[in-house]
Amino acid sequence: MEQLVNDIRNGNIRAFKQLFEDYYPILCVYSQQYITDPESCKDIAQEVLLTYWERRKNFNEIHQLKSFLYTATRNRCLNWLKHATFIDEEFEKTRNISDEDVFEEEIMRQETFLLVRKAIATLPPQMQRIVKLYMAGKHNQEIAEILQISEGTVHSLKKTAYKKLRAILKEEFFLLIILLHHINRLT
């Protein structure tokens, strides 16, 4: 990740595109903690990432970049709420979200989500679909109907997918454990 920051700092558009693809959906989801309008969330995420590109020379380390992305997203959301025609209740409700523990917890969840999403992306397409549908709350029978395959095939491919994911995430295992422990401690 440090190399990615260095490449972006040096103007590598491909590296920025990779970062954009990784963090755009995460920042959209993060901004939805504050704002319910999906289009505004997308705009904010895009603006934050473009602001980073414009200021890329100021970032030397990944932790600086991540801190900037999350803080800038939160601040833009709060500014959006101030200037929007929302009722005061909505704004007061979002003030509670800006609590530091909640902020850290959300960052950890999003980082964990990124690790898992990248691992899932390495699976064959059919396994990716099965895992994503399962994570969306679908049962084997529903997945089989959606993908028009047998329930046994879903079970078998899901089992194989999870074996592959365990192997892929093995290197990240301790990080995931620490993140999940910290999240559970906060909740």
pLDDT in tens, 69-120: 999 999 998 888 877 654 445 555 555 555 555 666 667 677 777 777 888 8
Quote the CA–CA distance of 66 and 59 in Å, as a whole number.
10
Q: Is 33 left (phi over 0), alpha (psi -120 to 50) or beta?
A: alpha
Tokens of 147: 């993908």
CB distance 156 to 124 below 8 Å: no
Tokens of 8: 């972006």
- Domains of the chain listed by start with CATH number: 1-98 (1.10.1740.10), 108-187 (1.10.10.10)
SS3 at position 133 = helix
Which value, in Å, is the radius of gyration of the alpha carbons in the chain?
A: 19
Contacts of residue 185, Cβ cutoff 8 Å, sequence gap at least 6:
none
Provide the residue-wise pLDDT of the chain in tens; the chain has 187 residues: 778 889 999 999 999 999 999 899 989 988 988 888 889 899 999 999 999 999 999 988 888 898 899 999 999 988 888 776 544 455 555 555 555 556 666 676 777 777 778 888 888 999 989 888 887 788 889 889 989 999 899 889 988 988 888 787 776 665 555 555 554 444 4
pTM score, whole prediction: 0.55
